[in-house]
Amino acid sequence: MRKSPNQPHRTFHPVSAPDFLPPDQLRELQLQRLTFIVRRAYEHVGLFRKRMDERNLTPDDVQSLEDITQLPFAVKTDLRDTYPFGLFASPMKDIVRVHASTGTTGKPIVVAYTKEDIEVWTNVMTRSFAACGLHSGDIIQNAYGYGLFTGGLGAHYGGEALGATVIPISGGNTERQLTVMKDFGATAICCTPSYFLHIIERAPAMGIKIKELPLRVGVFGAEPWTETMRRRIEAESGIKAYDIYGLSEIVGPGVAMECQCQAGPHIFEDWFYPEIIDSVTGKPCADGQEGELVLTTLGKAAMPMIRYRTRDITALTSEPCACGRTLRRIKRIARRSDDMMIIRGVNVYPSQIETALLKIEGTLPHYQIILTREMGLDEIEVQVEVTRELFGDTVGALEELQHKLSASVETSLGLRAKVRLVQPQSIQRSEGKAKRVIDQRKM
């Protein structure tokens, strides 16, 4: 079977209609849903009511979309502090599903869905797949993890509702992923971008040429990745790579998704109300200005989230998109405010390092950042894999590459970093979210 280009499907999927609502109709719908959800949260979630009461606010104070800025923020620790079910607004008999996310430290957070909430989630995931050109007849290999993580089941329901064939393979077992991809003729894959890179890298040893398979679309998200990474993935696999964004606290995957223009994810604003704030002052940022994304669920009965601070840094744009969708777009989320490393007083994000490394030919998109402290001074070492050919090259060639990479990292960070070239396959691969930073500094 041969790969066909990812062209727009001839028939427009009716589920995508809300993507094209005239802005005034969209705002009207948002306001209707916002007033409903604020009242629901006030009446059923103790923490939210307490915070509103402290500000002398009642649900009647929300008369316009702009009024949302008076409402208190919600943060991740609210979910931890009320673990497991303290933020549920529905009785258990109405909750048909829970998911959880463990994060790196502390207690997990738990999120809940009613039957209607699952329908909303399915709706946005179906629209996500339709936006990137998938349709019935497509075969979606869903390699996001099934289980407490939202990725697997979220994509699963969306794919089925689209009318596509879903292969619920879940994450891991890379050889089986490749066998199934080839034997079942998968036309799309869903997984983290870093895991897809791992799949690409294992293919040659199995005699599989991904470029020659029917696979044409990748729906990649759940972790930050860069434009440079997208170009590498597309060049090596011959597919189109699309960015999907979401988080458990809001729904899971399907909060925002790129269309075929690949110009940044469109937020499904009819279900999620976005704001951008200055993460220090909490004040709203103008269109186009970078800040922290704050989201309000407009249709989540089991666990409404009002003004949830995602910690994800992006900017909103209402510039029209060539696809005709009226939904605003976010800039690719390359960093989180809490991913920021402070190294010798300089703020550094892993994505800056990724861009600096991948700009240089000969590097592979596998890297890790190791932070140590020696005699009170922060040291940063960046380990990056290089191609087998280069690794076997002369010492001179390797030194030259190392020098180029150090210079590229230094220009980007304004900070000198030690760059260590390592053999292909030596950095640990992940089947889900990649672990980019190892911080060995004693705090």
Indicate whether 221 belongs to the interface with ligand DLL (CB under 6 A).
yes
CA 145/CA 152 separation, integer angstroms:
5
- Report helix, strand or coil for 377: strand
Helix residue ranges per DSSP H, 210-260: 227-237
CA atoms within a 13 Å half-sphere pointing along the CA-CB vector of 259: 21
Indicate whether 299 belongs to the interface with ligand DLL (CB under 6 A).
no
What is the nearest approach in angstroms of ligand DLL to the Cβ of residue 210? 21
Of the two residues 18 and 221, which places its CB atom closer to ligand DLL in the complex?
Answer: 221
DSSP state at residue 184: T
- Is the separation of the CB atoms in 331 and 290 below 8 Å? yes
Indicate whether 243 belongs to the interface with ligand DLL (CB under 6 A).
yes
> Strands 377-386 and 363-374: what pairing?
antiparallel
Of the two residues 35 and 170, which places its CB atom closer to ligand DLL in the complex?
Answer: 170
CA 368/CA 347 separation, integer angstroms:
17
Indicate whether 355 belongs to the interface with ligand DLL (CB under 6 A).
no
Indicate whether 100 belongs to the interface with ligand DLL (CB under 6 A).
no
Contact with ligand DLL (CB under 6 A): which of 68, 244, 357, 417?
244
Among candidates 232, 199, 227, 198, which has minimal Cα distance to 213? 199
Indicate whether 274 belongs to the interface with ligand DLL (CB under 6 A).
no
- Is the separation of the CB atoms in 221 and 145 below 8 Å? no
Of the two residues 315 and 422, which places its CB atom closer to ligand DLL in the complex?
Answer: 315
Indicate whether 368 belongs to the interface with ligand DLL (CB under 6 A).
no
Q: Which residue is nearest to ligand DLL (CB)?
A: 221
Interaction mask 128-147, ligand DLL, x per CB under 6 A? ----------------x---
Give the H or E element holding residue 357.
Answer: helix 350-358
Contact with ligand DLL (CB under 6 A): which of 6, 16, 82, 101?
101
What is the nearest approach in angstroms of ligand DLL to the Cβ of residue 166? 14
Indicate whether 245 belongs to the interface with ligand DLL (CB under 6 A).
yes
Using a 10 angstrom Cβ sphere, with 0-12 exposed, 13-18 middle and 19 or more buried, the burial of residue 148 is middle
Using a 10 angstrom Cβ sphere, with 0-12 exposed, 13-18 middle and 19 or more buried, the burial of residue 303 is buried
Of the two residues 248 and 368, which places its CB atom closer to ligand DLL in the complex?
Answer: 248
- Is the separation of the CB atoms in 203 and 210 below 8 Å? yes
Indicate whether 252 belongs to the interface with ligand DLL (CB under 6 A).
yes
Residue tagged 């990479």 (tokens): 405
Segment near ligand DLL (CB under 6 A), from 7-15, 181-189, 245-253, 368-376? 245-253
Give the H or E element holding residue 385.
Answer: strand 377-386
What is the nearest approach in angstroms of ligand DLL to the Cβ of residue 433? 7
Indicate whether 150 belongs to the interface with ligand DLL (CB under 6 A).
yes
Contact with ligand DLL (CB under 6 A): which of 215, 247, 316, 419?
247
- Sequence-distant (≥ 6) Cβ neighbours of residue 433 within 8 angstroms: 192, 194, 222, 223
Of the two residues 147 and 320, which places its CB atom closer to ligand DLL in the complex?
Answer: 147
Q: Which residues bind ligand DLL (CB under 6 A)?
A: 101, 144, 150-151, 221-224, 243-248, 252-253, 310, 312, 333, 336
